[in-house]
Every structure is written in structure tokens, then in C-alpha cells.
Structure 1
Amino acid sequence: MLNVRMNNSKITIYVVSCWIFVAFGGLMFGYDIGISGGVSVMDDFLIKFFTHVYQTKLHAKENNYCKYDNWLLQLFTSSLYISALFVSFFASKAATKLGRKITILIASIFFIVGAVLSAVAENKLMLIFQKPLLN
């Protein structure tokens, strides 16, 4: 038989606030993934950063795979996944050594810096390499 120890902790406003705060982290990550996928098919975005893809899109038949076939555009949409994979290896160690509060604060700072860099991106490399900061 399993030896289960019951914890007599209480659900307080602070605990519920922490749950909501953590849930927003997942919500922001999902939102960023959805936005980057949607933005990558917008004409204004393609004209500014991926002119060749935009030209191909104008002359393509109804085959979405072929008109968005560009490795840099694919790197843009997948850079958030790649950064999440990379950072996940270090997040638990950072939380153990620095504490969860400091780790979340540092992650929030990276998110804000990434959002600002995303807003002022002027070229493809700046656009692609700032996205991992959003994670």
C-alpha cells in the first residue's frame, strides 16, 4: 500500500493569484505562437521582410505549401519552438539556484525586451533572433 502524506495547506488569495499568473505565462506563449503563424501570411509583413515569398504568393495557384516555401520564413515561425526547447533545459536549474520568483522575473524581462525588439525589427535577422527572447 502506498504511504501518502496529506498536506494541510490552504487555498488563499495569494495561491490563486499565483495560479492565474502562471496560467498567463502559458497563455502568452500560445498567443505568440498563434500570432507568428498568422503574421507570416500577411501581405504587409511579407512585403517588408520576405519580398520573394510575397511575389511567389501572387503568382501561385491554390497551394499554400508552395507559396510559403522559404527556409527563413519557416525559421521565423519555428524560432519560438526552438527557443522553448533550448530554454526548458535551463529553466529548472535556474529556478533551483535562483528561486522561482527571480527566474520568473528574469523571464518576464526577456519577454518585454523581445516584444520591444519585435516592434522595431528592421530586417530578417533581427526579426528571427529576437523571437527567442519572447520565450
Structure 2
Amino acid sequence: MGAGGITSSGNAKAYPGKLTSKVIGSSIMAACGGLIFGYDIGISGGVTSMSPFLKEFFPNVYSKQLNTHESSNQYCKFNSIPLTMFTSSLYLAALLATVVASFTTRSFGRKISMLIGGAAFCVGSLLNGFAQAIWMLIVGRILLGAGIGFANQVIWSLYIC
């Protein structure tokens, strides 16, 4: 008797697939695509709660954080459009970049798409690392999102094919 109470007659063919290095490599690449998103969620959540970061780039949010008795709403504690743009710009850019990357991958191949995604990710990382103003943070996050969107699309196309 099999799982769930189903009986096998014994005439079923064995699955002919093998665990090859290509399957293992593709699976690792697909897992890394998910890791990129998870890592960013952890980083951006941690950074936006750091006082020095808030004091430098979002002074209104920092002053509201010091006066926590001012807001009793725990769902929307700081109500800051620039902070919301900082947080969500990466995800929106990744969504749009995934759509663009599907056409790029189909037209020019995976290698070019990965190079475009990697370049966008590197420029976005540099821009965020040397940011002196909010616009630099947001543009950097948009470029990071574009890089993640391209990488995830290429990774999943590799995994599916």
C-alpha cells in the first residue's frame, strides 16, 4: 500500500531521470535567486530601523521614533512617503525588470541578460554605498531591483528549461 492508501500494481515504469550535475547546478542557481530576495528583505528591514541611518536620510522619521507616544497606530507608525519609496522601489523595479528581462533573454540569450542584471546590481550597490541623499538611495534601490529582476528571470528560465 502506497502513501495515502493507494495501492500500486507494480507495473509502473521507474522514473528515467537522473540526478546530474546540470540538475544540481540549476537547482542551486534557482535557490540563489530566492536568496537574493531574502537577503534584501533582511538588510532593508534592519537598516530602516537603525537610528544613524534614519537620522541621516529620514530625519522626520527619526524624530517621530524618538517621540513614540505621538503615534498609537502600530500598523503605520511613521507615515513617510520617502521611506516607503525607499523600501518598495526595489520590489517594483524587480517586477518590471522581470518582464523586460524575459524579452531580453529571448532575443539576446541568458548570458547578456545576466550581464545586464549584474551591471545594474553593481551600479545600484555602489550608488547605495556612497549615497549622500535620498534620491541616491532610491535610484540605487531601483537599480538593485532591476538587477534582481533580471537575475531571477534568467535563473528561473534556466531552471525550467
Amino acid of the residue matched to residue 17 of structure 1? G
Aligned 8 A contact 2:124 2:141 in 1: yes
**Cα distance in 2 for residues equivalent to 1:98 and 1:9:** 30
Query: 1:101 maps to what in 2?
Result: 111
The structure 2 residue matched to 1:112, chosen from 122, 125, 129, is 122
Q: Runs in 1 of length 4+ with deviation above 6 angstroms?
A: none
Q: Which has the higher contact order (CA 8 A, sep 6+)?
A: 2
The structure 2 residue matched to 1:81, chosen from 82, 91, 96, is 91
**Cα distance in 1 for residues equivalent to 2:101 and 2:127:** 22
**1:40 aligned onto 2:54:** no
**How many positions carry a matched residue from both structures?**
128
Give the RMSD, CA atoms, in angstroms: 1.9
- Aligned-pair CA distance for 1:56: 1.1
Q: Secondary structure at the match of 2:131?
A: coil
* Structure 1, gaps ≥5 residues long: 1-7
* Structure 2, gaps ≥5 residues long: 1-15, 146-161
Query: 2:21 maps to what in 1?
Result: 13
Higher alpha-carbon deviation: 10-19 or 39-48:
10-19
Amino acid of the residue matched to residue 40 of structure 2? D
State TM-score, norm by structure 2.
0.71
| Structure 1 residues 77-105: Cα deviation after superposition (integer angstroms, max 9, x where no partner) | 11111102211221110110011222122
